[in-house]
Structure 1
Amino acid sequence: MKNVKRVLHIVGKMDRAGAETMLMNLYRHIDHSQIQFDFITFTNEVGDYDAEITNLGGKIIPIIASNPIKRMVKLKQFLQNHPEYKIVHAHTLLSNAFHLLAAKHAGIPHRISHSHSTSNGKSRTIQKIYEQWALITNRKVATYRIGCGEQAANYLFGSTRNVWLLPNAVDIKKMMADANQARDYLSQEFGSKGIKIIQVGRLSNVKNHQFSLQIAEELKRRRIDFALYIIGQGPLDEILKQQVKDKLLVDSVKFLGMCTHITELMASADYMIMPSLHEGFPVVLVESQTVGLPALVSDRVSIEVDLGLNLVDFLSIESASEWADRLILSKPRMRNEESITDSLNKNGFSAETNAKKLTEIYLSM
């Protein structure tokens, strides 16, 4: 199809993480007769979404380099050799600076910087210097700015001025339909009893799984019947599993890895927890509210995630005992799908609607 406009997205790897899941929700709904997505990744490993991307007509293009400068040079060379790309859409936060610089020097006229987080999570002096350079460079070289929420936009761009706020949308109808078929999933699949708790996210420091294990210890100390299911993978995988053994929590804390049945898990859980040190606008919290699942969330997460459905409670991450108190008290699921749908649509969380808006933007370039 000669008239299809190809957009090159810059990501690390197309795994089932927040920004990547949001991107796939849009990709599935975008009009492929007009727009096609291709993806630059920085690994030779196969991503969770790679097969689906290929089936949808997209390309996975790995660029392998030992440091950001060499990566930038290779990206520039690739773009110079592929003039079909007029739009580069970067999703790598501070590293967007490198990738959009490469695009600018390669003559790419439309360079989109997309912010998915409210912090870089780094505090050392050299890291702060890099952060300031990256923030300034991002603002200079991006020709179009997108943020998943106001706080994410403020972090990367300094304000929401001239920034399109694109919420992390989901496929509302499909999620609700899948959830209604899976209300007993955890009980049937794992024999779960008591309070069923899930945590979804990369096994990395920012997600604060160590605090989750403190909560689990507190519940066990009180002789509460519970199960905590940790979904995701990452650099802390072995460390966390060893901590679970050391804390004698093996019977109560289960690691499910990179699970594809997120909707089923949410549909059958009693609570989701997110004691993160910082977040942008986690798509997983949009998903949890879509299926009516209550969530306990760190007060360091943007308040924008609360869609007004009385399903998100914010807590300080100073006291695991307070989190245990809330989990024991329990909170009913929300079953009113009409109210949920209205709230999601009102707040801009329909993947179908957002894909149409994004298509209009790409076609205007």
Structure 2
Amino acid sequence: MQKIRILHLMSSFGGGISTFIHNLAKEASNQEMVFDVATYSQVPDYFKQTIEETGGQIYFLNNPKKTSWQSFKNSFAKAFQENAYQVVYSHIAGYRSVIYYYLAHQFQKDTPFDFYIHGHYRYDKNPALKNKLMQVFDAQVNRRLSRLPIGCSQLSIEELFALKVGESSVVIPNSIEPNDFFIDFEKKRTSRKYWLSKFTKKSKQSLIIGQVGRLTAIKNHPLTLEVIAYSKKQHHPLRLVIAGEGEDRDFLEKEVEKKEIDAQVFFAGRISPVANLLAGIDLLIMPSFSEGFGTVAIEAQAVGIPVLASDQISQEVDLGLGLIQFLSLNCEPKEWYQRLIEFYHQSSTKIPTDEERFRSIQAKSLTNEAAAKLYRQVLDHQVSHFRIDSR
């Protein structure tokens, strides 16, 4: 197998994109792949170290809005001055990817390379006319510039590439390292005790639920807060750990205060690794309006805890273990609360073994090893169509 060098274009660190790159990078060397990353933001040491272990490095881009066009161009050119690439892989989609496409071809004229655009998200359900027109334009850009339609889920690809019926596409799943989520009973007990200690009023019988993701409108945290407020009225108050950061934090903190559920909600900020949270909670809630894939649902099932998700999340995340249920966003907070309680008691009676969970993860190519192998086959033009089976 010949070694290939890939330049990943990532606007900023945090969320599914950086996790996708990081997890693939863990297995990149086994597939003879070198990863470089060009990004506008600083990255944590663990991410930088994983990239360097592939033989690659981080290239920091200057933001043309903050510096100048020439400064940005020079910072982007540096990667091409030091390396020749077989693949330039953009995690920046739509019209924003155009400049990277043309500059990459300008900087590397003599050595041909493939350019990919990876779909990581889905469009808004009811966009304004201006945004709808932009989505049509972006989809045409993605189709024209990317060697093939590719993304983290079938729904994401269908929307971002305006996929036609029968057209080939490749889902490269947001993978995980399963062993990171197989946690023994003692560690789970210690973790639960830690998270329970974050609440001023609690008991050992208190159910702790978690919501993980950027604090932004699409994650629909207000519905979760409504569920928590309803639980208080039922005299069976739930405890909620909110993991993540984002522009909606101030708004959400005010909502917590207004609903008088301060004693039931804890803002934990960004948690890494997320297994530190999942090991200590009783259930994960995902009422998102949309998700590109929803990797944290896979991670929660890997730990062995149930997931209550909105029906807007791809069925591809169902590992077939009886650990995830989907509920309509049209349902009232009362219905979410009742389903949550029922599902928790139902699923806690029989938690699948580590071996059963591993087999399910492996069967869907959701391990880092399987995803990296598939990724290399795609880059070698050996695979042009792959889907994750939905259950």
Report the TM-score when normalising by structure 2.
0.83
Moved more, 55-64 or 163-172: 55-64
What's 1:20 paired with? 18
What's 1:325 paired with? 338
Once residues 92 and 253 of structure 1 are traced to their aligned partners in structure 2, the CA distance between those partners, rounded to angstroms, is 34
What's 1:84 paired with? 84
Q: In structure 2, do the counterparts of structure 1 residues 59 and 180 end up closer, same or farther at CA, with 3 Å as the change threshold? A: farther
How does 1:173-188 map onto structure 2 within 5 Å? 173-176=179-182, 178=183, 180=185, 182-188=187-193
Give 1:98 shift.
Answer: 4.4
Q: Does 1:93 align with 2:93?
A: yes
Q: In structure 2, do the counterparts of structure 1 residues 352 and 248 end up closer, same or farther at CA, with 3 Å as the change threshold? A: same
Q: Secondary structure at the match of 1:183?
A: helix
Q: Secondary structure at the match of 1:308?
A: coil
Once residues 51 and 171 of structure 2 are traced to their aligned partners in structure 1, the CA distance between those partners, rounded to angstroms, is 28
Q: Does 1:352 align with 2:369?
A: yes
Residues 36 and 59 in structure 2, CA contact (< 8 A), matched pair in contact too: yes
Once residues 256 and 80 of structure 2 are traced to their aligned partners in structure 1, the CA distance between those partners, rounded to angstroms, is 50
Once residues 45 and 254 of structure 2 are traced to their aligned partners in structure 1, the CA distance between those partners, rounded to angstroms, is 26
RMSD value, Cα: 2.8
Q: In structure 2, do the counterparts of structure 1 residues 303 and 356 end up closer, same or farther at CA, with 3 Å as the change threshold? A: closer
How does 1:68-147 map onto structure 2 within 5 Å? 74=73, 77-78=77-78, 81-82=81-82, 84-94=84-94, 95-106=96-107, 107=109, 109-119=113-123, 123-147=127-151
Residues 18 and 283 in structure 1, CA contact (< 8 A), matched pair in contact too: yes
How does 1:136-215 map onto structure 2 within 5 Å? 136-159=140-163, 161-176=167-182, 178=183, 180=185, 182-191=187-196, 193=204, 194-215=206-227
What's 1:278 paired with? 290
Residues 101 and 141 in structure 1, CA contact (< 8 A), matched pair in contact too: no
Once residues 181 and 102 of structure 1 are traced to their aligned partners in structure 2, the CA distance between those partners, rounded to angstroms, is 53
What's 1:42 paired with? 40
Q: Secondary structure at the match of 1:272?
A: strand
Q: Deviations over 1:199-243 (max 9, x none)?
A: 000011110111111111111111113210000111111221122
Once residues 179 and 191 of structure 2 are traced to their aligned partners in structure 1, the CA distance between those partners, rounded to angstroms, is 22
Q: Deviations over 1:100-134 (max 9, x none)?
A: 34434544621011112232567233322222221
Give 1:71 shift.
Answer: 9.7
How does 1:278-357 map onto structure 2 within 5 Å? 278-318=290-330, 319-329=332-342, 330=344, 331-333=346-348, 334-357=351-374
Once residues 72 and 93 of structure 2 are traced to their aligned partners in structure 1, the CA distance between those partners, rounded to angstroms, is 19
Residues 287 and 309 in structure 2, CA contact (< 8 A), matched pair in contact too: yes
Alignment-mate amino acid for residue 332 of structure 1:
S
State percent identity of aligned pairs.
Answer: 27
Alignment-mate amino acid for residue 366 of structure 2:
F
Q: Of 56, 62, 78, which residue of structure 2 is paired with 1:58?
A: 56
Alignment-mate amino acid for residue 340 of structure 2:
L
Give 1:70 shift.
Answer: 5.0
Q: Secondary structure at the match of 2:263?
A: coil
Once residues 51 and 235 of structure 1 are traced to their aligned partners in structure 2, the CA distance between those partners, rounded to angstroms, is 26
Q: Of 268, 286, 293, which residue of structure 2 is paired with 1:256?
A: 268
Alignment-mate amino acid for residue 281 of structure 2:
A
Q: In structure 2, do the counterparts of structure 1 residues 82 and 52 end up closer, same or farther at CA, with 3 Å as the change threshold? A: closer
Residues 4 and 32 in structure 1, CA contact (< 8 A), matched pair in contact too: no
Q: Secondary structure at the match of 2:188?
A: coil
Give 1:55 shift.
Answer: 4.9
Once residues 161 and 181 of structure 1 are traced to their aligned partners in structure 2, the CA distance between those partners, rounded to angstroms, is 49
Once residues 357 and 276 of structure 1 are traced to their aligned partners in structure 2, the CA distance between those partners, rounded to angstroms, is 28
Once residues 121 and 85 of structure 1 are traced to their aligned partners in structure 2, the CA distance between those partners, rounded to angstroms, is 37
Q: In structure 2, do the counterparts of structure 1 residues 179 and 163 end up closer, same or farther at CA, with 3 Å as the change threshold? A: farther
Gaps of 5+ in 2: 198-203, 383-391
Give 1:143 shift.
Answer: 1.6
Once residues 140 and 80 of structure 1 are traced to their aligned partners in structure 2, the CA distance between those partners, rounded to angstroms, is 23
Q: Secondary structure at the match of 2:159?
A: helix
Q: In structure 2, do the counterparts of structure 1 residues 71 and 246 end up closer, same or farther at CA, with 3 Å as the change threshold? A: farther
Q: Secondary structure at the match of 1:212?
A: helix
Residues 51 and 57 in structure 2, CA contact (< 8 A), matched pair in contact too: yes
Give 1:359 shift.
Answer: 3.1
Residues 4 and 36 in structure 1, CA contact (< 8 A), matched pair in contact too: yes
Alignment-mate amino acid for residue 132 of structure 2:
K
Q: Deviations over 1:275-299 (max 9, x none)?
A: 1011121111111111111111011
Q: In structure 2, do the counterparts of structure 1 residues 137 and 102 end up closer, same or farther at CA, with 3 Å as the change threshold? A: farther
Q: Secondary structure at the match of 2:173?
A: coil
Give 1:156 shift.
Answer: 1.8
Once residues 158 and 104 of structure 1 are traced to their aligned partners in structure 2, the CA distance between those partners, rounded to angstroms, is 25
Give 1:179 shift.
Answer: 5.5
Moved more, 6-15 or 82-91: 82-91
